[in-house]
Amino acid sequence: MQKSKIHKIIRKLRRILLQVPEKFLLVDTSQQKMFLVEDGNIMHSYTISTSKFGIGNKEGSNQTPLGIHRIEEKIGDDAPSGRIFKSRMDTGENWHPGLTDDNLILSRILRLHGLEDGINRGPGIDSYQRYIYIHGTNQEEKIGTPLSHGCVCMKNREIIELYDLVEEGTIVVID
For the stretch 133-145, pLDDT in tens is 999 999 999 999 9
CA 66 to chain centre: 11
Q: Which pLDDT value is given to residue 1? A: 61
Task: Tell me the per-residue pLDDT of 120-135, one tens digit each, with 9 for 90 and over.
Answer: 999 999 999 999 999 9
Q: Are 127 and 121 in contact (CB under 8 A)?
A: yes
Q: For the chain, which domains are there?
A: 3-174 (2.40.440.10)
Exposure of 3 in the CB half-sphere (CA atoms within 13 A): 3
DSSP class per residue in 60-120 = TS-PBPPEEEEEEEEE-TTPPTTEEEETTEEEEEE--TTS-SS--EEEEEEEEEE-SBTTT
State the DSSP code for 21.
-
